[in-house]
Amino acid sequence: MPPPHKESSEPKMHRLPSRFLWITLLTVATVVSTPQAASTHAAAPAIATLIIPKIGLHERIREGVGKAKLRRTIGHYPGTAKPGQVGNVALLGHRTTGRAPFRKLNRLTKGDSIVLKTKSHSFRYVVRRIRIISPSRTNVLNPTPLRPGRTPKGRYLSLITCHPKGSDAKRLVVIAKLVATKTTKQSKS
């Protein structure tokens, strides 16, 4: 088995960062390589805000998992559920690169609360499982995470990052289940 690839500082055209290269098995992701396109891509509106009180995380989530985006924020994997929907909301983030929003993700334990806030709702998820998996195990993106062939009935959240810190040898996956939904004040008017 070859050693884990270290990410170079030079931009690569039409490639995901090596840490998330396994994702291309499921979807073709467009990675922008021009500074103008990258700034437009990164400035896209947030689809939600991720709040994890235990680790002090309060970060915007943007659609997509391109290189420029993941250096600046947490990305929502295209084609997975949106916050609150039946299925699996898959979010990717770095632990050591760029802003590294998932640097403390390994501190979460079963029962911890995670909140996703959109303009109209607040969704509270509770951590159910934490797994270390191989990068080839793409069924973490399934509507029922890590459970191939299951019909989605629940509302799940999967937080995915590299493991151990500084390596892309494995993936740390935190799986949570929706337990409460609140309508925000903004949406009541």
Residues noted as catalytic: 94, 162
DSSP state of 12: -
Based on the number of CB atoms within 10 Å of its own CB, is 134 exposed (0-12), middle (13-18) or buried (19 or more)? Answer: exposed
DSSP state of 13: T
Q: Which of 29, 143, 185, 19 is nearest to 92 (CA)?
A: 19
